[in-house]
């Protein structure tokens, strides 16, 4: 599967092998039971908290 991005990657882990490869990054995080930081609001990204589906829901509800 091709994994070419057309937008800038917002992740701060620039040394990661999956940096700017969204499909690889998402697959990695889902295998580990969490989500990539780019799914979350800028404010949440700065907290360093876990990144579960439940966390995404709470982040969304806090910023809608």
What is the structure's pLDDT at 31?
A: 94
CA separation for the pair 11, 2 (Å, rounded): 20
CA separation for the pair 57, 9 (Å, rounded): 22
What residue segments make up the domains of the chain, in order of their start?
Answer: 22-63
The answer on pLDDT for 63 being more than 90 is: no
What is the structure's pLDDT at 19?
A: 87
- Using one digit for the tens of pLDDT, what is the confidence trace for 5-58? 667 888 888 888 888 888 889 999 999 999 998 898 888 877 777 789 999 999
pTM: 0.72
- Count of Cβ atoms closer than 10 Å to residue 40 Cβ: 21
Q: Are 11 and 21 in contact (CB under 8 A)?
A: no
């Amino acid at each position: 599967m091709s994994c070419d991005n057309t937008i800038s990657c917002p992740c701060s882990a620039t040394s990661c092998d999956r940096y700017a490869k969204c499909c690889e990054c998402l697959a990695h995080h889902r295998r580990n039971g969490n989500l990539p930081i780019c799914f979350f609001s800028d404010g949440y990204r700065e907290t360093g908290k876990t990144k579960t589906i439940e966390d995404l829901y709470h982040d969304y509800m806090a910023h809608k």
